[in-house]
Amino acid sequence: MKLRRIGKSNIQVPQLTLGTMSFNRDKKSVIKMLSKALDQGLIHIDTADLYGFGHNEMLIGNFLKHHRDQIVLTTKVGNHFNSQTEEWFWDPSKKYITRAVKKSLERLQTDYIDLYLLHGGTIEDPIDETIDAFDELKKAGTIRTYGISSIRLNVIKTYMKKSNIDAVMMQYNLLDRRPEELLDDLYEHQISVLARSPLAKGIISSKGDININEKASDGYLEYSKETLEKIVRELHYIDEPLEKLAFQYVLHHPAVVSAVFGASSEKQIMNNSAYVHMGAMEDDMYQRIQQITKPLYYKQHRD
């Protein structure tokens, strides 16, 4: 299997990652889905403590305890929540992170986390304190490395300069090309990108027309519904599965180590895992897709 290293760490992941936010709450169903994913080579699992207010981590823990040495685990922190009332607020403090990681470890039934991500962030956060919390957890061996999950340009650039992060998770797909202004800098700093939502709500997929009507009837980012329909038609002319094109596009830049797709069924896992061993996109195809779409730029949180 082709694996890619996360940042300067010794952690390697396949070019596709399974996101679990859409998993249901049935233990047997989740274990079957995770077993299917592992069988197909999807060894990198992404979750967060906020998903299901802790319940998602608990479900994954039931599987993880039997397969810990086979799985690369990513989870996230920063949303201070009450699992009973399902209320939450943003809390990137060192005190909360130190306490929250212990609860995640209990739910996940493991004694370490491979990649621990700050689940958001603003420029007004106590960033030095947050970085200190992650550095201490890494030094203690509680986490192997850390990063942030963000689409805020100023936050990403601040962590790039001040911290030892190895990864940034951000929304990136061939429609949402905003991260492209950051990719070269991240690569130069040896910070890897995990591209979430690579299929753009399923718009760039075999069910693109249906998903446009159901999930993007008012458009997507700066694209109107009519423009999305036109783009999907043009992509179909390439005569390759749209899922493959979507994955290959975001993986084309060397800063991107893995595309994180969500799944809510075994069928979705099987369909997407077919591309875990796919080859790279040729430069001319990459340029062709860039001509079909358009570059977008972050308009907020730049300073």
Give how far the C-alpha of residue 101 lies from the chain's centroid of Cα atoms, to the nearest Å.
19
Tokens read off for 174: 């061939």
Give the C-alpha distances (Å, rounded to integers) separating 277 from 2, 16, 67, 90, 125. 7, 9, 22, 38, 40
Spatial CB neighbours of 19, under 8 Å, sequence gap ≥ 6: 46, 196, 260, 261, 262, 263
Please pick, among 51, 116, 146, 223, the residue that the annotation labels catalytic.
Answer: 51
Token pair listed for 124: 């007004």
The answer to whether residues 186 and 157 touch, using CB atoms and an 8 Å cutoff, is no
Q: Mark whether 51 is an active-site residue.
A: yes
Total Cβ atoms within 10 A of residue 8:
14
Active site residues: 51
